[in-house]
């Protein structure tokens, strides 16, 4: 399981713990297999106070684009959801998104904690801030071009998605 929590804490599938401070949307998961898949998250400064109260969550897989940009646990109406393969349920404090066909589950507390589970079919086929899921902890910090990095801040910056939060 990969876990992201608070405004900067990350734990990869392979168990690397690191901090990354950034304002932009970042790739938690990106598939390097033949299925196009990504999970991105962005810190939200809800009260313009500098305090991060929530993350926005974006899941793209197959034909679906699922956007959570508030704390309701309901996807933004602009989302495109393949209901055959995407199941969203709210259970207690968590919103759970099961991508059943793809063996991926995302658990989000509608605040800043996101857990991602991926089935064994994804081992060694992922990249992003959740790491490559090859069961080795030492090789996590790689750029999208598969270059090794020495600091978590460089690692995080390398996985920034195009849109920044400051507009």
The residues of the shown chain that bind Ca ion, judged by CB under 5 A, are 14, 131-132, 134, 136, 139-140
Nearer to Ca ion, 76 or 123 (CB): 123
Task: State the nearest-atom distance from the C-beta of 71 to Ca ion, in Å.
Answer: 32
Closest-CA residue to 116 (of 16, 23, 29, 51): 29
Based on CB atoms, which residue is closest to Ca ion, 87 or 136? Answer: 136
Query: Which of 85/123 has CB closer to Ca ion?
Result: 123
Which CB, 88 or 130, lies closer to Ca ion? 130
Q: How far is the CB of 143 from Ca ion (least distance, A)?
A: 14
Q: How far is the CB of 32 from Ca ion (least distance, A)?
A: 13
The least CB distance from residue 57 to Ca ion, in Å, is 23
């Amino acid at each position: 399981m990969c876990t992201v929590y608070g405004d900067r804490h990350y734990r990869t599938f392979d168990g690397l713990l690191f901090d990354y401070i950034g304002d932009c949307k970042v790739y938690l998961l990106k598939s390097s297999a033949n299925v196009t898949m990504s999970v991105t998250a962005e810190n939200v400064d809800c009260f313009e106070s500098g305090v991060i109260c929530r993350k926005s969550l974006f899941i793209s897989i197959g034909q679906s684009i699922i956007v959570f940009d508030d704390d309701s646990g309901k996807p933004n109406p602009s989302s495109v959801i393949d209901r055959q393969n995407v199941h969203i349920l709210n259970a207690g404090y968590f919103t759970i998104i099961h991508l059943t066909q793809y063996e991926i589950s995302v658990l989000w507390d509608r605040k800043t904690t996101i857990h991602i589970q991926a089935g064994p079919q994804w081992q060694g086929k992922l990249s992003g801030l959740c790491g490559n899921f090859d069961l080795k902890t030492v090789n996590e910090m790689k750029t999208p071009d598969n270059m090794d990095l020495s600091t978590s801040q460089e690692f995080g910056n390398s996985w920034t998605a195009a849109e920044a939060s400051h507009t």
